[in-house]
């Protein structure tokens, strides 16, 4: 038999009149541009100081963030966010694999997990401020402790769902525990783990801001509090713009990671549909 039997999987291309190089930027920017235009128009027709024109928000954005504040407030925030997410991923996957593979541990812990998951993460911030103080450690712990849950719970489910035949294959060929983990359990659970990571990113961003609203002296959460007290509308809106951009950055990074980790999964799903 030759390899010519190989199935090549190609998705049908939708008929588009828009040239292909323009399609992606259009998908990304069409709606934002429309919103900015509409907003500008409204702010000319019916000016309102609480909703400053996009041009003013843009000015405030440059004025507030494109200077040394970026180094003193934005970068440290992002650093804590990154560290918190990393910690959440490591803890979530590590504990999730353990709990997912050991039955008695799972039975012991699952009710407790349901309890902790039900507690809204922002509520733990004041408690942690009291326990750890309002320093960087507390903020990173808050982000990790809140963002960990979707990853942890999805990892448990993913580990439990490893195919029976794959497990038996691993046993029949006497794979070592470590190889079983790296080459069977984790890859098999990776689609679910990635779904958990995606959820945890937005939780982490929320907690980054909230952790900076308590007893902080820097950071985006702190800044928005200060702007609020001064009725500085345009700068407040500029923070929202900045956070939105951080969210987009996270989404892009996530997509790159997902493309690397789950190439096989997309191919498999396409093959199953074909």
Determine the interface stretch with another protein among 16-24, 42-50, 55-63, 264-272 (rule: CB under 8 A). 264-272
Q: Which is nearer to another protein, 1 or 15 (CB)?
A: 1
Q: CA distances (Å), 37 to each of 29, 68, 268, in order?
A: 12, 30, 43
By CB under 8 A, name the one of 27, 114, 135, 163 that touches another protein.
163
Which residues, in sequence order, are CB contacts of 126 under 8 Å at separation 6+? 214
CB of 154 to another protein, least distance (A): 17
Which residues, in sequence order, are CB contacts of 55 under 8 Å at separation 6+? 40
CB of 3 to another protein, least distance (A): 4
CA 154/CA 216 separation, integer angstroms: 33
The mark string for 164-193 relative to another protein (x by CB under 8 A, - otherwise) is xxx-xx-xxxxxx--x---xx--xx-x---
* Residue 228 near another protein by CB under 8 A: no
DSSP states of 17-73 = SS-HHHHHHHHHHHHHHHHHHHHHHHHHHS--TTS--HHHHHHHHHHHHSSHHIIII
* Residue 16 near another protein by CB under 8 A: no
The mark string for 49-68 relative to another protein (x by CB under 8 A, - otherwise) is --------------------
Short-list 213, 204, 237, 196, CA closest to 56: 237
Q: Which residues lie near another protein (CB under 8 A)? A: 1-3, 5-9, 163-166, 168-169, 171-176, 179, 183-184, 187-188, 190, 264-265, 267-268, 271-272
């Amino acid at each position: 038999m030759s390899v010519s039997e190989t199935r090549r999987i190609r998705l049908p291309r939708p008929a588009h009149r828009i040239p292909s190089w323009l399609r992606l930027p259009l998908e990304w920017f069409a709606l934002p541009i429309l919103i900015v235009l509409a907003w500008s128009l409204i702010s000319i027709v019916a000016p309102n100081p609480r909703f400053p024109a996009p041009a003013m928000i843009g000015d405030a954005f440059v004025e507030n963030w494109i200077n040394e504040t970026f180094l003193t407030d934005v970068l440290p925030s992002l650093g804590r966010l990154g560290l918190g997410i990393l910690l959440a991923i490591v803890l979530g996957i590590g504990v999730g694999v353990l709990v997912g593979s050991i039955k008695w541990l799972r039975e012991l812990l699952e009710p407790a997990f349901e309890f902790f998951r039900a507690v809204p993460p922002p509520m733990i911030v004041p408690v942690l401020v009291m326990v750890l103080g309002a320093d960087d450690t507390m903020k990173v712990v808050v982000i990790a402790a809140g963002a960990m849950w979707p990853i942890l719970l999805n990892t448990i489910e993913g580990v439990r769902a490893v195919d029976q035949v794959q497990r038996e294959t691993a046993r029949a060929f006497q794979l070592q525990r470590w190889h079983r983990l790296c080459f069977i359990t984790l890859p098999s659970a990776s689609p679910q783990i990635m779904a958990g990571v995606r959820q945890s990113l937005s939780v982490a961003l929320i907690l980054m801001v909230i952790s900076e609203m308590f007893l902080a002296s820097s950071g985006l959460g702190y800044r928005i509090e200060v702007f609020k007290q001064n009725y500085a509308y345009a700068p407040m809106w500029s923070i929202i713009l900045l956070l939105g951009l951080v969210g987009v950055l996270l989404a892009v990074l996530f997509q790159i990671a997902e493309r690397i980790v789950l190439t096989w999964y997309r191919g498999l799903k396409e093959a199953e549909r074909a």
